């Protein structure tokens, strides 16, 4: 090996050792320096200001005794601050980090509601995509879909949100639906249209596109002929069918059939519904009424 190559190698090693040592010293000096304060930044969403303010964050840090600027920056419990803030109902996410100048940077994204819930006890609250709740009050109002439900561990809000998100992003369905309900007995998802007189029982969120197509088939081919208040419930919770329950139970039984997915299996309507006076509709083939 040439002498110049050896010298270059030794210089590279010496430089590496120096840099490592310098970084360690810098880190130690930084860790021993006092906290330079808290830099709180609220990243509000357009049209949704006011859920949380930097003064409220400052107050909470003081109440939790996590704002001691007399400590070194390294001694500030960043993980505990982040955990506490993420538990606040009006906060979607909180991110806490120590900056090179020994300030504690706190980035806050306020709650992003996707629906408002009204329960049977008269309570009202907003929920985000993860089902996190925020009590509704007069301080703020957001125009989001409404759900009437008593959510619990067995029937959480996240069971309904896929339906809400799907329909709210479809202009035709968004204009059609007034609000959503959840049947407390079995968790069935109920759509309440702006067209008064009937509701739509989706059951759960499985095969959602097929269920919606069957409802639209009823809307386009059957209800204009039978009348919009002829049925009180359109149920598409069973595969390949739309079971329509008549409002006036004294009307003679009639059958409307049309098939979208081929010949569906014969279903025992009586076992599906409490009332035996219902019309079973298979979405697809031309409709007819007896």
Q: Report yes or no on 289 lying in a domain.
A: no
Instruction: Please tell me whether residues 102 and 121 are part of one structural domain.
Output: no
130 and 271 share a domain?
A: yes
Q: Which of 132-141, 180-189, 273-282 has the lowest mean pLDDT?
A: 273-282
Written as one string, the DSSP assignment of 63-97 is: HTT---TTSBGGGS-HHHHHHHHHTSTTEEEEEEE
- pLDDT (tens digit, 9 = 90+) per residue, 11-55? 777 777 667 665 655 555 455 688 999 999 999 876 666 688 999
| pLDDT the model gives residue 192 | 95
Domain co-membership, 65 together with 17: no
Number of domains comprising the chain: 3
Average pLDDT, rounded, for the chain: 80
Query: Is residue 62 located within the same domain as residue 91?
Result: yes
Nearest alpha-carbon partner for 91 in 113, 67, 72, 108: 108
Q: How confident is the model at residue 173 (pLDDT cuts 50, 70, 90)?
A: very high
Please tell me whether residues 187 and 276 are part of one structural domain.
yes
**Domain end call among 86, 110, 134:** 110
Q: Are residues 97 and 142 in the same domain?
A: no
Question: Which positions ≥6 away from 213 have C-beta within 8 Å?
Answer: 260, 283
**Which position has the higher pLDDT, 9 or 173?**
173
Same-domain pairing of 127 and 261: yes
76 & 199 share domain: no
Q: Residue 45: inside a domain, yes or no?
A: yes
User: pLDDT tens digit string along 217-241?
Assistant: 999 999 898 888 888 999 999 888 8
pLDDT for the residue 48: 66
pLDDT class for 2, splitting at 50, 70, 90? low
Give Cα separations from 72 to 21, 28, 104, 177, 190 (angstroms): 22, 11, 11, 56, 56
List, in sequence order, every residue forming a beta bridge with 116; answer none if it has no partner. 126, 146
| Higher per-residue confidence, 211 vs 263 | 211
Q: What percent of the chain has pLDDT over 70?
A: 76
Does residue 183 share a domain with residue 277?
Answer: yes
For residue 290, being part of any structural domain is answered with no
| Mean local confidence (pLDDT), 155-178 | 93
In this prediction the pTM is 0.69
Q: Among residues 107, 79, 100, which one has the least CA distance to residue 31?
A: 100
Give me the domain span that covers residue 123. 117-281
Longest dimension (CA), the chain: 108
Read off the pLDDT of each residue in 99-120 and give the average, rounded to a whole number: 93
| Residue 288 counted as domain residue | no
Instruction: Give domain status of residue 133, yes or no.
Output: yes
- For residue 262, the domain's CATH number is 3.40.50.11690
Residue 96 belongs to some domain of the structure = yes
Average pLDDT for residues 136-165, to the nearest whole number? Answer: 88
43 plus 75 within the same structural domain: yes
pLDDT digits (tens, 9 = 90+) for 236-286: 998 888 998 887 654 444 434 444 443 333 333 333 333 334 555 544 433
Are both 2 and 89 inside the same structural domain?
A: no
CA distance to 128, 158, 159, 184, 272, per residue, from 152 (Å): 16, 10, 11, 10, 25
Q: Of 83, 110, 137, which residue is a domain's last?
A: 110
Q: Residue 264: what pLDDT? A: 35
Q: How far is residue 27's CA from residue 250's CA, in Å, rounded to a whole number?
A: 84
| Residue scoring higher pLDDT (93 or 46) | 93
What's the pLDDT tens digit per position in 73-88?
888 999 999 999 999 9
Task: Find the radius of gyration of the CA atoms of the chain.
Answer: 30
Count H helices and E strands in the chain, helices first: 8, 13
Share of the chain above pLDDT 90, in %: 47
- Pair of tokens at residue 187: 């968790």
Are residues 141 and 199 both part of a single domain? yes
Question: Is the confidence at residue 197, as pLDDT, over 50?
Answer: yes
Q: Which of 110, 139, 169 is the last residue in one of the domains? A: 110
Residue 269 lies in a domain: yes
């Amino acid at each position: 090996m040439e002498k110049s190559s050896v010298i270059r190698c030794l210089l590279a090693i010496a430089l590496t050792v120096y840099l490592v040592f310098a970084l360690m010293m810098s880190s130690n000096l930084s860790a021993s320096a006092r906290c330079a304060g808290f830099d709180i930044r609220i990243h509000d969403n357009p049209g949704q200001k006011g859920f949380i303010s930097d003064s409220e964050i400052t107050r909470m840090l003081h109440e939790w005794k996590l704002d001691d600027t007399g400590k070194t920056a390294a001694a500030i419990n960043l993980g505990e601050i982040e955990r506490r803030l993420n538990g606040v109902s009006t906060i979607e996410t909180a991110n806490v980090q120590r900056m090179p100048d020994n300030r504690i940077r706190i980035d806050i994204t306020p709650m992003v509601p996707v629906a408002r819930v009204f329960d049977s006890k008269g309570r009202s609250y907003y929920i985000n995509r993860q089902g996190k709740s925020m009590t509704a009050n007069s301080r703020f109002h957001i125009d989001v879909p409404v759900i009437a439900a008593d959510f619990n561990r067995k029937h959480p809000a996240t069971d309904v949100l896929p339906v809400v998100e799907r329909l709210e992003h479809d202009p035709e369905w968004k204009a059609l639906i007034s609000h959503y309900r959840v049947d407390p007995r079995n968790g069935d998802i109920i759509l309440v249209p702006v067209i008064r007189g009937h509701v739509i029982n989706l059951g759960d969120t499985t095969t959602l596109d097929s269920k919606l197509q069957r409802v639209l088939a009823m809307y386009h081919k059957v209800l204009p002929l039978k009348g919009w208040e002829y049925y009180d419930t359109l149920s598409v919770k069973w595969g390949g069918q739309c079971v329509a329950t008549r409002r006036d139970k004294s009307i003679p039984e009639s059958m409307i059939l049309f098939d979208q997915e081929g010949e569906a299996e014969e279903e025992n309507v009586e076992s599906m519904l409490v009332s035996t006076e219902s019309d079973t509709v298979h979405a697809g083939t031309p409709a007819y009424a007896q």
